[in-house]
Amino acid sequence: MALKARALYNFQSENKEEISIQENEELVIFSENSLDGHDSSYTAAPNPSISYQGSFEDDDDDDWDDWDDACTHPTAYSHHQHTGVEAFILGDVPLMSKIAEQTKFKGIKSYISYKLTPSNINSPATGRFEEDFIEKRKRRLILWMDHMTSHPVLSQYEGFQHFLCCRDEKQWKLGKRRAEKDEMVGASFLLTIQIPTEHQDLQDVEDRVDTFKAFSKKMEDSVLQLTNVASELVRKHVGGFRKEFQKLGNAFQAISHSFYMDPPYSSDALNNAISHTGKTYETVGEMFAEQPNNDLFLMLDTLSLYQGLLSNFPDIIHLQKGAFAKVKESQRMSDEGRMDQEEADGIRKRCRVVGFALQAEMNHFHERRVADFKRMMQSYLKQQIIFYQRVSQQLEKTLRMYDNL
């Protein structure tokens, strides 16, 4: 089934297998392959007879998070042309701005930003109250902003600062449009990086990337494991633990009530103490139900953030591994006389740029990981201590009621 589309930019054909298109030209797409920006191609033809109502420029959707997900734009690139980081490594610079416009932050955007936006999980942590869900989103937004503002590159980006500071709705939308048209995004961002001049062996870089790959996979698995355990513990706190303490409290009060059945032998002081013990355990049950707000929810917020961070590293590392492969391939071609050594050296130099950028992100990730997990664990343990001290105080107060019987 043919699809209708509108061209987003001009494209001039360079061989007979391609077609030339003009910006805003109506197209009919007869077949399509991958839309992910890697070797995508369409069989498309101009169709002047199509009447299209509306304009892409008038789109009022202000959800900046959609830039990665709504990319279904037609392109007439052939399979022999390169995209993203591969184009950068091969020095195919003239394509960079078009690729960035086509993919709208695909590929390397994840490498720079990790898709840090808080995940919109369908069910809130408590699973019951809308206000709890809103509160959770607030907490996770704070964590997200903390990470964004701590990033040495993203925090200085004009689009991000505009997103934070602009209060005029019209100016905010204009700023959004400017950010969307920024040509220094995607793999083109690598053109802005200046790297140190000292020698760094690419094999050492590759070894470090492999080590980080294994680390990130193991950390991702362990974060998921802790998330599952903590989530189950939350359910027990708000459900099972509270119910069990309520049952225990009710059982103590039943004992107290039975002691009133034979007044001549009844001890009001003992009966009251046992009844108060039952109420104490009911109170303890409510304390358990409320406690996740003070510790487990905060832990789950941090774990959720790192699930998002870690889920992007496989694609990021794949880009770097592809760059290493291009270096080895180009050197082999140079040794065989099929490529000038100067061209092979250029590929190696650009691979070093990608390598330095990835290592910078790895270093930043580790710095934040140490700080974040230290804070998470300290907060959890402090809140646990405070909680059990409060439980102990309740029990000690109740115990004293039996002292003078």
Same-domain check for residues 347 and 270: yes
Report how far residue 81's alpha carbon sits from residue 71's, in angstroms, rounded to the nearest whole number: 19
Question: How many residues are listed for the chain in this entry?
Answer: 405
Q: Residue 75 domain-assigned?
A: no
Q: Residue 14 domain-assigned?
A: yes
Report how far residue 277's alpha carbon sits from residue 395's, in angstroms, rounded to the nearest whole number: 8
The DSSP output letter for 21 is B
Judged against a pLDDT cut of 70, whether residue 358 lies above it is answered with yes
Same-domain check for residues 156 and 38: no
Higher local confidence (pLDDT), 26 or 165: 165
Write out the residue range of the structural domain in which residue 287 sits.
Answer: 83-405
pLDDT for res 12: 56
* CATH label of the domain that carries residue 332: 1.20.1270.60
Judged against a pLDDT cut of 80, whether residue 249 lies above it is answered with yes
Q: Residue 206 domain-assigned?
A: yes
Same-domain check for residues 325 and 381: yes
Same-domain check for residues 286 and 356: yes
Report how far residue 107's alpha carbon sits from residue 82's, in angstroms, rounded to the nearest whole number: 13
**Please, which pLDDT band fits residue 93 given cuts at 50, 70 and 90?**
low
Mean pLDDT (whole number) for 52-57: 33
Same-domain check for residues 36 and 152: no
Same-domain check for residues 100 and 54: no
Report how far residue 376's alpha carbon sits from residue 149's, in angstroms, rounded to the nearest whole number: 19
Task: Look at the chain and report how many structural domains it folds into.
Answer: 2
Same-domain check for residues 174 and 39: no
Same-domain check for residues 148 and 231: yes
DSSP result, 190-206: GGG----SS---HHHHH
Same-domain check for residues 228 and 336: yes
* CATH label of the domain that carries residue 35: 2.30.30
Mean pLDDT (whole number) for 130-139: 84
Whole-number mean pLDDT of the chain?
A: 77
pLDDT for res 209: 93
Domain boundary residue, one of 27, 44, 59: 59
Judged against a pLDDT cut of 70, whether residue 94 lies above it is answered with no
Report how far residue 363's alpha carbon sits from residue 365's, in angstroms, rounded to the nearest whole number: 5
Q: Residue 96 domain-assigned?
A: yes
**Please, which pLDDT band fits residue 301 given cuts at 50, 70 and 90?**
very high
Higher local confidence (pLDDT), 121 or 313: 313
Same-domain check for residues 184 and 123: yes
Same-domain check for residues 130 and 55: no
Q: At what angle do helices 268-290 and 341-399 cross, to 10 degrees?
A: 170
Q: Residue 78 domain-assigned?
A: no
